[in-house]
A = this chain, B = another copy of it.
């Protein structure tokens, strides 16, 4: 006689497998649509690719060759990664910053614009000041605590580095409104769309991307921007403007963002606090979130042992993979989980231990990081565009 529960478990297994396949198909499709390259060639020739590259988390690129050459020739290059300060950083951000750290260790100057204008104009904070407070009290200390080198890191908060607006004005007549609407899909009639968000996305964001190529920062050089695959059109816009201004079109590196704790295929997002572990969460809060997190297991331990779990959509497995295990450990864990040798409770226990340790360590560094803040803040005025 057929076991009804078993059929149900098999169906769940199949469904979760399909989610993985669908995601892979989506990425493959987008890569083709956007003409992005895989990392294969880079991995073959780079003597020490980052963990994320080896794991396929950083999985696609455009023009990475330019950066590879700069690394090989020991020439200047830069990476730019902006941050919207509407809340504390979470483990999803940490993944990107880890990749930035690898780049800094390979010679990159790291530019981190903290976009309090964006946070406020899109309605994520009540004022410029509130986003500014979050920037200085939470975001910047966390970034510094991750181990960046102040000599090769340029952090600025937009409202406190208004030179960025002059740069944005300097660039903005290289972009037609029509093009901006095309790229960002503005809807004039939508409530959140205002002249500030428009200017931010189509000009200030581009200014942040091209800033390292202005005279004050050493002039044209290879640059790269880590993005999610959906952000590719913004890069295209920046590349187009770069060319019109005599700069080197920025390269692009595509990262799979860390998955939400609540839903497969979604990314950790500060706007849903259950979806992510904030770097400022107490160890207890983090434990709680992990306990309630979505896994790649089945509804019953019995059948999970029989059919195995699906690690690729398991938020806990992914947490461990991104942040806490080395390549060998990850491989083993994946196999064991697929074979049903490891249960969700084991996985969660492991993650809780790692996350708690990490949070304690990170949080213990914040006070010291706050004291060092001044060394990281970029104050270089952009005078070249005003000089007559």
Contact = CB atoms under 8 A, between A and B. Distances in A.
Interface of A: 117, 120-121, 123, 127-130, 132-133, 159-160, 162-163, 165-166, 168-170, 172-178, 180-181, 186, 188-191, 193-199, 202-203, 385-388
Contacts of A133: 388
Contact of A194 (B130, B159, B165, B177): B177
Q: What are the nearest 6 A-B pairs in CB distance?
A: A172-B196, A162-B162, A199-B199, A133-B388, A195-B202, A165-B165
Task: State the main secondary structure of chain A at its contact with B.
Answer: helix
Contacts of A163: 162
Nearest to A136: B388
Given A133-B388, A162-B163, A176 B194 contact: yes
A193 B180 CA distance: 10
A246 to B, nearest CB: 13
Nearest to A191: B176
Contacts of A159: 166, 169, 386
A124 to B, nearest CB: 11
A198 B186 contact: no
A123 B170 CA distance: 11
26 contacts: A117-B169, A121-B169, A121-B173, A127-B170, A128-B170, A128-B385, A129-B388, A133-B388, A159-B169, A159-B386, A168-B195, A172-B196, A172-B197, A173-B197, A175-B195, A176-B188, A176-B193, A177-B188, A177-B195, A178-B189, A180-B195, A194-B203, A195-B198, A196-B203, A198-B198, A199-B203
A387 B203 contact: no
Nearest to A167: B128
A159 to B, nearest CB: 5
Contact of A130 (B120, B128, B195, B388): B388
A215 to B, nearest CB: 12
Contact of A166 (B162, B173, B198): B162
Contacts of A168: 195-196
B120 A173 contact: yes
A388 B136 CA distance: 11
Contacts of A121: 169, 172-173
A211 to B, nearest CB: 15
A265 B130 CA distance: 51
Contacts of A170: 120, 127-128
Contacts of A203: 194-196, 199
A128 B169 contact: yes
B194 A186 contact: no
A188 B182 CA distance: 10
Contact of A173 (B123, B160, B175, B181): B123
Nearest to A202: B195
A160 B195 CA distance: 21
Nearest to A189: B178
Contacts of A160: 386
Contacts of A173: 120-121, 123, 194, 196-197
Contacts of A181: 188
Given A162-B166, A172-B121, A387 B198 contact: no
A169 B178 CA distance: 22
A258 B168 CA distance: 35
A168 to B, nearest CB: 7
A379 to B, nearest CB: 13
Residue among A120, A123, A130 with max Cβ neighbours from chain B (10 Å): A120
Contact of A177 (B117, B178, B198, B388): B198
